[in-house]
Structure formats: C-alpha cells, structure tokens
C-alpha cells in the first residue's frame, strides 16, 4: 500500500529529499549542497537548473526502485527566492535571486518615498524591503534582457522555488501555494489571487505569475518519467510556515522559532488577519479549501549563516558543532558582542543598510569569545523580536525551537535564559520537512486533518528553563543594545 510521503526540502544552502512514514518516522534522506553565488556585495544568487537537477537526483536516490510505496509528494522551500523561466522551453532565463539579496534596496526606498508602504503593508502584511519576491521580479525585468524579451513574447513565467519545482516535475503546471504567495508583496492577505493593483505598484505583469492554490490537497501530478510512475503533489508550503506546522503550532497563540540560515519566529493568529504596529509581518500560515489561517512573523536574516561565516570566511572553526564546546570553555564572552547584520537587519528594525558589528574586542579576545558571542547573538536577536511581538499583543509564554542550530544545547539554554521563558525543542529538529509531510499526508487522505496528522507524526521533546540571574541578563542586553546602535 502506498502510504509514504516524499518530501522535497529545497533550502538555501542545500536541497534534500526525505521519505516519511505515516507515524512521522524518517525512513530515508538524501542531500546535496547548493552553490552560493555572490557576484557583488549584497547580491546572492542560485542556479535554478542546479536546484532542479540536485533536487531530482536526491529524490530519485531516496525513492530508489520502490516508487510504488510513495503516496504523495510534499514540497517546502526557501520562500522569497525568485526564478524566471521560459514557458516554452522550461529553462531558466537568469540566475535565481535569493531571499537574502539586497540589490533592490534603492527601488524599495523609492516606493517608500512615493508613499506606497502604508498601502502595501495594510494589504499584504509586509513592508517594502528587498527581502520580498516582487521587487526581485521587477529587477529582473529591468536588468535581464532574456527576461524582458520573454515577457514581451508572452512566454515569461515567474515563481518561487516550489513553483519552479512543480513546473519541472509536472507537465508545466504553473502554481504557487498561498503561504509562498503571501511573501511576494503581490498578494493581498484577503485576496484569492495575485492583486492587479499591487502588481502595478511593483511593476510585475500579472500574466507572468502562477495561480495561487491551497497548501494541501491534490495540487499537481509528477510525471511518470521522474520516478517510474505518476505521483500526486499534495503539499506545498514555505519553509517557515512548514516548520510552524511541523511544531504543531495549530492553535491560536502558539509560537515557534526556526534557527537555520536565518532565524524566523511565527505565532499562529488563526483566521484573524494580522496587523502589526511594530514592524512585524503578517503572512499566510496555510490554506485549506480556500480558507486561510494566518501568522504574525519576525525574521532575522542571519543565524546559522553567521556560524558558516566564522567557518568559511574567517577560518575560526572547522565545523558548526565546535561552537558549543568553545562557548562552554569560558565563563562569558569577555564583553565581545556580535550584531550579525551581514545582510542588513530584518525585523523589527528593517535596515537593509545596516552592517555587522563586533564590539568589545581586547587582547584577551580569541576564537572562544567570538564563537560564544555568535551564539549569544541568536538570543539577542530573538529578544528584540519577543519585545515586538509583546507590543503587538502576542507575548510568548513558551517558545518551540527547531532548525539545525537548535541542536546546540548551549544556545537553547541561552535562549531560555535571555527570554526568561520555557524553550521546547523536539527530539526530531527537522520540523520544516515534517511540516510538509504533515500537509501532504492530509492532502493525500492518509490523515483526516492537520491536528490528527500532527498528533500522529510529532515525537517527544526536551525543555529548557531559565537559570540566568536578572543582573546578568540585563547587562547582556544593554551591551547588545549599544552594539546595535553602531550597526
């Protein structure tokens, strides 16, 4: 009987394929790294063909010769990354512009000067920032001859990564799910499809965009030449919404934080459209039979990528796991503070012009102090978000964490200490993939509801409680605030 879920997890630094059983057991995984291209300061690009080729290769590896056991495919993805391709050839027209990319900062500033931000925020829940997809599409139209020529010929397709993968897996189905669509600046939170008025503001032709569909259900069908038989695609969801579902945050007020390349916090707001007065984001969490559940979100652009920077650019560590031992080897950071604004500052500051800061250096500062300060920066950024959520009437009583960095026990405890709340970490921290599996399992009819699927597929967890003295917490936060002002 076909009852397994194949999840394609198309992330920023790697793409993976994973097979889940109906009880949430992970039965197989294959992973390949994605090449990062940095052609200019503040620019980040991917090769869309590489994303497709490596995702398909991982999927074929993990499925093996037994596609008959796969009931459905679920896809989760880096959200705001934009791909442009030709509908007739199915080939990309330019490199993908990654969510971290800041090249449209001046364009966003110009839209703010024209007074569009209030309208855009009210309708989309988002701010005018280079982070989001729509301005990346406009940049491609303005600067890429092949993209512009395809638009003039009527063959241009824009999409985020899940849209691209569905197009390539199927016979040219051009769709996006509501969670990813809500990250474009082009979808009103209460609108069924992309909005003509918002498309006009940003300058993106509506005809180039995909149809907006539910996050789960029978969405498309993978061609038989991909895996040896047709397999329905029954789940599509942006990575942070997927992690929220994978954490079981299905009730109003439940909150999760994912620490991967960036750090993202989402609080379930039910069917209430989120309105933030503190520069947080409103977003679609999931959509079922046309009915949306929303979330309020805070996004920090740099989390695990800071540790990667210490490893790859500075050569201070050999691997990410070393940071925990280094942090434990000293009693404190020696007043070293890192503000990780390597790609600007996200919520609640939204300063694309900000740059990273390392303060408090002395001759006593070594790699242990820098590694510990890098981990401490995760709690400091999260505390900024916690203050904004509380000001918006959504205070946290507990925080569920996941993502690769959350496996670091020292960092998990530091989060509890600085936030002064209980922090809960599932024993299976790859909840982004699990969320896509939960959605696809419901979409395929394996489980009757999201609540039932989450109950069946989520495992046990570990809790961390605050132990830090208040004066230590206060001094840490004060040092970070001073360093932040310099960023």
pLDDT at 267: 92
pLDDT at 253: 86
pLDDT at 487: 80
* Whole-prediction pTM: 0.87
pLDDT at 478: 96
Q: 92: which strand partners?
A: 85
pLDDT at 393: 85
Helix axes 239-246, 450-457, angle to 10 degrees: 70
Q: What element of type H or E holds 86?
A: strand 82-86
Q: In Å, what is the CA distance from 52 to each residue of 9, 32, 39, 311?
A: 12, 11, 21, 28
pLDDT at 353: 86
Percent of the chain with pLDDT over 90: 88
Cα–Cα distance, 81 to 48 (Å, whole number): 10
pLDDT at 295: 94
Alpha helices in 66-116 (DSSP H): 105-113
Q: For the chain, which ranges sit under pLDDT 70?
A: none
Quick: pLDDT tens for 32-67: 999 999 999 889 999 999 999 999 999 999 999 899
Question: In terms of CATH architecture, what is 4-239?
Answer: 2-Layer Sandwich (3.30)
- Count CB-CB contacts under 10 A for residue 375: 22
Domain regions of the chain by residue span: 4-239
Cα–Cα distance, 17 to 57 (Å, whole number): 9
pLDDT at 394: 85
**Terminal-residue alpha carbon distance, the chain:** 56
Contact present, 422 and 465 (Cβ < 8 Å): yes
């Amino acid at each position: 009987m076909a009852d397994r879920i194949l999840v394609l997890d198309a992330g920023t630094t790697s793409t993976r394929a994973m097979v889940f059983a109906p009880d949430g057991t992970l039965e197989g995984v294959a992973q390949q790294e994605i090449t990062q291209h940095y052609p200019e300061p503040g620019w980040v690009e991917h090769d869309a063909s590489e994303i497709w080729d490596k995702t398909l290769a991982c999927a074929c590896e993990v499925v093996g010769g037994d596609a008959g056991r796969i009931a459905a495919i679920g896809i989760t993805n880096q959200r705001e990354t934009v791909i442009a391709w030709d509908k007739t050839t199915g080939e990309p027209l330019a490199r993908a512009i990654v969510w971290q990319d800041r090249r449209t900062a001046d364009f966003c500033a110009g839209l703010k000067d024209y007074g569009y931000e209030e309208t855009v925020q009210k309708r989309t829940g988002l701010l005018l920032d280079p982070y989001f997809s729509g301005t990346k599409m406009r940049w491609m139209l303005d600067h890429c001859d092949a993209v512009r020529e395809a638009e003039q010929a009527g063959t241009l397709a824009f999409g985020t990564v899940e849209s691209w993968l569905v197009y390539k897996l199927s016979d040219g189905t051009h769709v996006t799910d509501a969670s990813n669509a809500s990250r474009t600046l082009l979808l009103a939170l209460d609108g069924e499809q992309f909005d003509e008025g918002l498309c006009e503001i940003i300058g993106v032709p509506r005809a180039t965009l995909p149809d907006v569909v539910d996050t789960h259900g029978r969405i498309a069908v993978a061609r038989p030449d991909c895996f040896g038989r047709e397999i329905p695609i029954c789940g599509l969801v942006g990575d942070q919404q997927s992690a929220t579902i994978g954490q079981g945050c299905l009730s109003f007020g439940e909150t999760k934080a994912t620490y991967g390349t960036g750090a993202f916090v989402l609080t379930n707001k039910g069917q209430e459209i989120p309105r933030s007065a503190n520069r947080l984001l409103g977003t679609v969490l999931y959509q079922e039979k046309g009915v949306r559940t929303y979330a309020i979100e805070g996004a920090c652009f740099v989390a695990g990528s800071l540790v990667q920077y210490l490893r790859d650019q500075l050569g201070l560590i050999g691997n990410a796991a070393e940071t925990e031992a280094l942090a434990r080897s000293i009693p404190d950071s020696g007043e070293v503070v890192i503000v990780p604004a390597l790609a600007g500052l996200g919520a609640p500051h939204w300063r694309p012009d900000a740059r990273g800061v390392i303060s408090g250096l002395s001759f006593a500062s070594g790699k242990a102090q820098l590694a510990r300060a890098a981990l401490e920066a995760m709690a400091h950024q999260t505390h900024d978000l916690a203050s904004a959520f509380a000001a918006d009437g959504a205070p946290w009583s507990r925080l569920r964490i996941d993502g690769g960095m959350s496996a670091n026990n020292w960092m998990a405890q530091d989060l509890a200490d600085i936030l002064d709340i209980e922090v809960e970490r599932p024993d299976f921290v790859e909840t982004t993939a699990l969320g896509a599996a939960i959605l696809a399992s419901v979409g395929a009819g394996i489980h009757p509801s999201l609540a039932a699927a989450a109950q069946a597929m989520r495992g046990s967890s570990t809790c961390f409680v605050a132990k830090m003295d208040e004066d230590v917490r206060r001094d840490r936060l004060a040092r970070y605030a001073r360093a932040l002002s310099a960023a």
